Amino acid sequence: MNAPNPNIRADRPVIRQLEEAVINRIAAGEVVERPASAVKELVENALDAGARRVDVAYADGGKTLIRVTDDGCGMTAEDLPLALSRHATSKIDGSDLLDIHSFGFRGEALPSLGSVGRLTITSRAAGAEAARIAVTGGRVEPVRPAALNRGTVVELRDLFYATPARLKFLRTDQAEAQAIADVVRRLAMAEPYVSFTLRDLSGGGEGRVILRADGCQGELFDALGARLATLLGADFTENALRIEAEREGLRLTGYAALPTYSRGAAVEQFLFVNGRPVRDKLLIGALRAAYADVLSRDRHPAAVLFVSCEPERVDVNVHPAKAEVRFREPGIARGLIVSALRHALAGAGHRASSTVAGATLGAFRPEAPSTPRVYQMDRPAPSVLRAAAALQAPLGPELAEASARFVPLPEERGETPDVVNHPLGAARAQVHENYIIAQTETGMVIVDQHAAHERLVYEKLKRLRDAAPVPAQALLIPEIVDLSPSDAALLLDHAETLAGLGLVIEPFGGGAVAVRETPAILGEVDARALLRDILDELADQGSSQKLQAKIDAVLSRMACHGSVRSGRRMRVEEMNALLREMEATPLSGQCNHGRPTYVELRLADIERLFGRT
């Protein structure tokens, strides 16, 4: 016997209007998920008010105190009660919900915060007296006079005290504090001309400064670069490419790091739409696709990208937290990101990140001297050293033999030395039959010959692939794949694109699809599994790179087997030819898996290893 359904009642349920306090607490569950959500809403309000300086303070991960101080336009005593009313806002007039130029517009944040915590707002507008209003658990107190020079101070204490069940779902103080820092960091990137300060007041007193970013000056790219250097470190800006592109009214700006400056997790991916920080699957997928050919699956690119367009072309009212957006033409937005980043990466040529050299130098461990270090002030010429040695005592048998084997330098033989003014210099030696040592004007380069040639061959194969359609092989008996009608329709909508990659499909009635041809380079293909993978990617991102990725994987394997193998001895001419080809080939600074193909060491760094500073 089945148990009765608890949702089915014998009596008719009564429809009733919820109280305002309950409505605000329900809304708070959508808008304020954790202390970081409250910080986000309050800082966005400050930026919308035209603040040039925003100070954020918190205690115990924001659970007991959040205070946001700004120097914006402020509010009058008459404005304060209205600001705590639900759906009251100065950002929009309600005539067009797609014409939004501000961070906030829903008018839910302040009443939601006041319904679940102890909220106090002190504000002063130009030409008016300062005033203060407080709300505790949804109970609003009268407006009182206050003392404040300008702007607004919002103080939120005991978040979720009115809904204690929500407190059980909060994480540790350290985790919540980290989330607050991430929110402030993202908003500081969005507004490089505004000064931000983040302070932890846990334990009382002045607290400690977690983040300080002074307002930057100059043009947009200069200001953004300076702000990113403060927030992400100089390594990011040194190894990032400037991105600027436009397509059909959508504009993309920002910085994207070199593939060799990748991360083990997606911790340095910051995306903005019309200045608003977002976590959008479409944009993240486009970023991943742009680096798909230069990074392995376990590495993640680093980038700070801003997509700008007319407000009518993007819907920011998708989610109460406004973390997701919906583009009117998602394909244009995705294509803009992929093409702009790939063009920038190709334009970087053979360049690799400077952190590779830093890691290499860090791996060296100079032997501790057993005697006091002798500092050499000058660098004598080799001929001077040999003359000094000749004036000393007669050579022993070992030293005499070594002296006889001494080979003069090319310039001492009257020969012209190799030209080293190329970016990757001139080959000097090959060690362990795998690494090429080249001398440059400022130091030396160590090249992994197999990894470098593998990338060169791979790029040649891709150029051949792009010059003509991918060859396809017709199946003797077409493979019929049964799908749902909606999945079949989705696949057939992209049939022309798939045919250009060698996969030819046709409708076969109902939800069935007939696979007529498959890419010849893939050999025997499990058509059903391939179509399922493509469908999953189409459903998740709106487009699919799965077939392209499979073809590229085969090309990569061909490049690996067709490249110079480790252990092969190379002549000087071959080594120099490899270096020149690397300089002329895009993306040659990393192999097909995202690892660096060469390491550059500056002469000053090498001398520092030997204490010659």
Q: Convert the pLDDT of each residue in 169-180 to its tens digit.
A: 889 999 999 999
pLDDT digits 0-9 by tens, 310-363: 988 888 777 666 677 888 888 899 999 999 999 998 888 777 766 666 666 666
Lowest mean pLDDT among 28-32, 247-251, 403-407: 403-407
- Local confidence band at 410 (pLDDT 50, 70, 90 cut-offs): very low
Please give the DSSP secondary-structure letter assigned to residue 549: H
| Residue with tokens 């479409």, as numbered in its chain | 282
Distance, in Å, from the CA atom of 321 to the CA atom of 442, rounded to the nearest integer, reads: 52
Q: pLDDT at residue 386 above 70?
A: no
Instruction: Report whether 275 contacts 47 (CB < 8 A).
Output: no
Instruction: Report whether 541 contacts 281 (CB < 8 A).
Output: yes
More reliable by pLDDT, 401 or 437: 437
Q: Which of 481, 541, 491 is nearest to 512 (CA)?
A: 481
Instruction: Report whether 527 contacts 481 (CB < 8 A).
Output: yes
Instruction: Kindly give the interhelix angle for 35-48 and 109-116, rounded to the nearest 10 degrees.
Output: 140
Number of Cβ within a 10 Å radius of residue 233: 11
For residue 27, the model assigns a pLDDT of 60
pLDDT digits 0-9 by tens, 277-297: 998 888 998 998 899 888 877
For residue 73, the model assigns a pLDDT of 92
DSSP per-residue codes, 465-515: HHHSPPPEEEEEEEEEEE--HHHHHHHHHTHHHHHHTT-EEEE-STTEEEE
The secondary structure element, H or E, covering residue 36 is helix 35-48
Q: pLDDT at residue 35 above 80?
A: yes
Distance, in Å, from the CA atom of 579 to the CA atom of 452, rounded to the nearest integer, reads: 9
Lowest mean pLDDT among 362-366, 435-439, 486-490: 362-366
Distance, in Å, from the CA atom of 543 to the CA atom of 551, rounded to the nearest integer, reads: 17
Distance, in Å, from the CA atom of 286 to the CA atom of 293, rounded to the nearest integer, reads: 13
Distance, in Å, from the CA atom of 229 to the CA atom of 234, rounded to the nearest integer, reads: 5
Q: How far is CA 383 from CA 141, 390, 406, 532, 590, in A?
A: 90, 11, 11, 72, 40
Distance, in Å, from the CA atom of 59 to the CA atom of 201, rounded to the nearest integer, reads: 5
At 57, list the tokens. Answer: 């303070």
Instruction: Give the ranges where 364-473 is alpha helix by DSSP (H).
Output: 382-390, 397-404, 449-467
Q: What domains does the chain contain, in order, with CATH numbers?
A: 20-93+100-213 (3.30.565.10), 220-348 (3.30.230.10), 424-613 (3.30.1370.100)
Q: pLDDT at residue 92 above 70?
A: no
Please give the DSSP secondary-structure letter assigned to residue 350: T
